Amino acid sequence: QDAAPIRPKTMNYIHSPSVFNMFNNLVQSFMKDKMKQRVHMHGDDMESLYKEIPKEILPKDYGGDNMSIAELTAYWKKKCEDRRDFLIATSKMRSDESKRSGKPKTSDELFGIEGSFRKLNVD
């Protein structure tokens, strides 16, 4: 949880199998209190989910008022296809390091030399 590159605001699990619930209980014993409060196990109780996530943004498949998952998938697929040229162009963008001022920094300069060193006595 400390090394994660993201900080989730909440994690909601629905219709999870009992094995996952047991695994989650084990993992939660190692979590900090703040993270434990962000994990919500709803099981089949959708009303408790609606208290965490508004029905307006949930897909119809989960009892919400938004489009179904299939409709959302088709919508975003079309949106990506419409912007295909832009997405391909941005994926090919690179920085020109020859224009960067100063000499490039190595990992040793940024983080120091890795490893452990001990004094070696040579006779």
pLDDT in tens, 80-93: 999 999 999 999 99
Note whether 49 and 77 are same-domain residues: no
pLDDT tens-place string over residues 19-73: 988 888 888 888 888 888 888 888 888 888 899 899 999 999 999 999 999 999 9
Residues 48 and 20 in one domain: yes
My answer on whether 1 and 48 are in the same domain is: yes
Interior/surface letters 86-119, b for 16+ CB within 10 angstroms, e for the rest: eeeeeeeeeeeeeeeeeeeeeeeeeeeeeeeeee
- pLDDT tens-digit profile of 90-115? 999 998 878 877 776 666 666 666 66
**What domain range includes position 6?**
1-53
Asked whether residue 1 is assigned to any structural domain, the reply reads yes
